[in-house]
Amino acid sequence: MSHKQSCDREQLSVVQRRAKVSTAQAFTLIELLVVIAIIAVLAAILFPVFAQAREKARQTSCASNMRQMGLAVQMYLQDYDERFPLAATAPTPTTFLNWHHLVDPYVKNKQIWVCPSANLPIKNIYGDLVCHYGYNAYYLNEGVDVSNIYTLNNAPGTALAGISAPTQCTLLVDTRGIDGRQPANHLSTYILPPSQPDADYWGRPDLRHTQGVVLGLLDSHVKWAPPGRFYTGQTPPDAWFARD
């Protein structure tokens, strides 16, 4: 055998060995499909967990916002003879203020008006921040008629002494305007008590936190609650809203 033939045989042997190693290390189609299936199963399990964790963080942020607003109302009460804020007021012909504007000086942070989970605009047509929380104006202000939005203007605040159970009386709730009612963008800063009919510019609980809401009570206590715990099926219907 010539030297050239010997070299050719050695080169062929090396190529064959490499081919065998490559074949042994390669994935078969079935193995690839199994790996893909396992990844898909893990993703289906983990993605909802991650989504729930993100929502929990947003809920915590919302609860912090509402707690700060509740404390601001408490400070307002101390400065105004223990009466709750006006539902709304127009100090000048071109200025209109809601209750949340009146308590803002006590926190000086309009960012807390915005819930990170709300599927609602965060600014009005003038570029100003809006509030995603509804105030219990029907019971915490006097002379309010839900069918007449103008009765909210300068409606006097109820006296704190007239609330028999502050720990079970709603102050604020995650709120969304009612479909088919004004305003069309569903922004509402007033929560309708369960007993009251749908009305323009009022809202119902917005179940934006895992089929529940963040609920703020008059004592500044804040908690998550499904509607069945405070809004539906209560006896009397307004048990968590009325003054007594």
Q: Return d(Cα 158, Cα 100) in angstroms, integer.
A: 16
- pLDDT for the residue numbered 5: 53
- pLDDT for the residue numbered 50: 62
Q: Where are the domains of the chain?
A: 34-230
Query: In the beta sheet, which residues pair with residue 224?
Result: 214
Cβ distance 124 to 130 under 8 Å? yes
Query: In the beta sheet, which residues pair with residue 204?
Result: 176
How many residues are there in the chain?
Answer: 244
Residue 9 has which token pair?
Answer: 């045989």
CA atoms lying within 13 Å on the CB side of residue 109: 12
Dihedral angle of Cα 135, 191, 145, 241, to the nearest 10 degrees: -80
Q: Prior bond to 236 cis, omega within 30?
A: yes
Say which amino acid occupies 135: Y
pTM of the model: 0.80
- pLDDT for the residue numbered 179: 94
Which residues of the chain fall below pLDDT 70?
1-27, 46-51
- pLDDT for the residue numbered 161: 94
Query: In the beta sheet, which residues pair with residue 222?
Result: 216
- pLDDT for the residue numbered 30: 80
- pLDDT for the residue numbered 61: 96
Please state, as a whole number, how many other Cβ atoms lie within 10 Å of the Cβ of residue 50. 10
- pLDDT for the residue numbered 216: 97
How confident is the model over 145-171, as pLDDT tens digits?
999 999 999 999 999 999 999 999 999
Query: In the beta sheet, which residues pair with residue 181?
Result: none
Classify strands 203-205 and 170-177 as parallel, antiparallel or unpaired.
antiparallel
Q: Prior bond to 205 cis, omega within 30?
A: no
- pLDDT for the residue numbered 31: 77
